[in-house]
Amino acid sequence: MGLSLEIARIVLPVAIVGGIAVFVILRMKHKYKKGTLGKKKTKSAQNLLDSLIPSGMMIGLAVAILLSILTPFSFLSAIAWGPGMGMLFGYFAYEIYSKKEDSYS
């Protein structure tokens, strides 16, 4: 019983984060094939849009490491969960920002 729980604790985060990664990649592939990827008028706005998912992954990793230092949450689990959650939040930010209209000041 103990061995199966340990295996589940090791495999479950990787499986869930892998599912998140597959979801995001397939959604982006679908948007690419349909031609509905986010387009911005300015170069800086397009660069921000393109960097939302990788930035989300890096921020997620940093937050997860801080949480693993401050709480009893395992460091190795944090390395698995952080970028996965960051990728998901970065994808949602991408969706929201790509629908937002460009504003010029």
Query: Is it the case that residue 7 has pLDDT exceeding 50?
Result: yes
The count of domains in the chain is 1
Q: Is residue 65 part of a domain?
A: yes
Assess if residue 105 is contained within a domain.
no
Residue 53: per-residue pLDDT: 94
79 belongs to a structural domain: yes
Give residue 78's pLDDT. Answer: 87
DSSP code of residue 104:
-
- Kindly state whether residue 104 falls inside one of the protein's structural domains: no
- Domain membership of residue 79 as a residue range: 2-99
Burial of 82 (0-12, 13-18, 19+ CB in 10 A): buried
pLDDT tens figures, 15-59: 999 999 999 999 999 999 998 888 888 899 889 999 999 999 999
